[in-house]
């Protein structure tokens, strides 16, 4: 076996595409937003809707914690908006679960963030 084939054999299947932070964030939003949409559109049982909302709240809590960190390099105004959206997500999710409010605003927020991430991923 020549050196090229040895390299292909050793690294070919294990090689993973390089992912940017924005690409990873986009994928997380896409997966969670899809789960939320499915729960709403299919009138999923309460348990499934609650699980999708919980996953969405966890994502936003992570983003807020990162945005609030001193080492975060984003502009202050953007960091504040991220924290504000995290607060909105937490509050509105509670309204969806306790008062039967629509989850559509949560899906819309996530979709808007995904569009912004996609634009930046494409530009990067």
Low-confidence ranges of the chain (pLDDT < 70): 1-17, 120-124
Give pLDDT, residue 64: 97
In a domain? residue 27 = yes
In a domain? residue 30 = yes
Give pLDDT, residue 21: 84
Instruction: List the domain range (segments joined by +) for residue 106.
Output: 20-123
In a domain? residue 37 = yes
In a domain? residue 2 = no
Long-range contact set of residues 28-36: C-beta below 8 Å, sequence gap at least 24: 28/59, 29/59, 29/110, 29/113, 29/114, 29/117, 30/114, 32/56, 32/59, 32/110, 33/107, 33/110, 33/111, 33/114, 36/103, 36/106, 36/107, 36/110
Mean pLDDT of the chain: 88
In a domain? residue 100 = yes
Give pLDDT, residue 4: 57
In a domain? residue 82 = yes
What is the CB neighbour count within 10 angstroms for residue 25? 20
The values of phi and psi at residue 20, to 5°, are: -85, 165
Give pLDDT, residue 16: 58
What digits encode the pLDDT tens for the residues 28-61? 999 999 999 999 999 999 999 999 999 999 999 9
The number of distinct structural domains making up the chain is 1
């Amino acid at each position: 076996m020549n050196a090229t084939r040895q390299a292909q054999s050793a690294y070919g299947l294990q090689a993973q595409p390089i992912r940017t932070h924005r690409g990873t964030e986009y994928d997380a939003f896409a997966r969670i937003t899809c789960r939320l949409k499915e729960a709403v559109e299919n009138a999923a049982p309460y348990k499934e809707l609650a699980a999708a909302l919980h996953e969405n709240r966890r994502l936003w809590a992570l983003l807020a914690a990162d945005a609030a960190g001193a080492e975060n390099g984003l502009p202050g105004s953007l960091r504040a908006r991220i924290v504000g959206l995290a607060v909105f997500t937490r509050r509105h999710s509670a309204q969806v679960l306790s008062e039967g409010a629509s989850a559509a605003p949560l899906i819309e927020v996530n979709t808007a963030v995904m569009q912004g991430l996609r634009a930046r991923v494409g530009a990067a």
